[in-house]
Amino acid sequence: MKVKVKCFPPLDDGDSCNFLDATPYEVNPGDKVSDLIDRLDFPAEKVSRVFINGHKTIPAAHLSDGDRVGFFPRLKDARMEVS
């Protein structure tokens, strides 16, 4: 099964997860969002919100073929520069 993943700064690193374009990942039947978080190798406590296909979900949610998954950081971890 394949899913597409977007990570928002500072979770994006450009290689395993990108903000500008969804990164495809092969997942196994029965995999959950938490399995994908482990695979992406960023601390789960840094993730504030998770969306599957535009709907807010939880790390225990199961993934399906073709899902679009978005990871948002905790606000205090997201550094934004204001000009």
Residue-level pLDDT, tens digit, the chain, 83 residues:
999 999 888 877 667 777 778 889 999 999 999 999 998 887 778 888 999 999 999 999 999 999 999 998 877 644 554 44
Q: Locate tokens 């199961």: which residue?
A: 62
What's the pLDDT at 68?
96
What's the pLDDT at 4?
95
Domains, the chain, ranges and CATH? 2-76 (3.10.20.30)
Strand partners, 55: 52
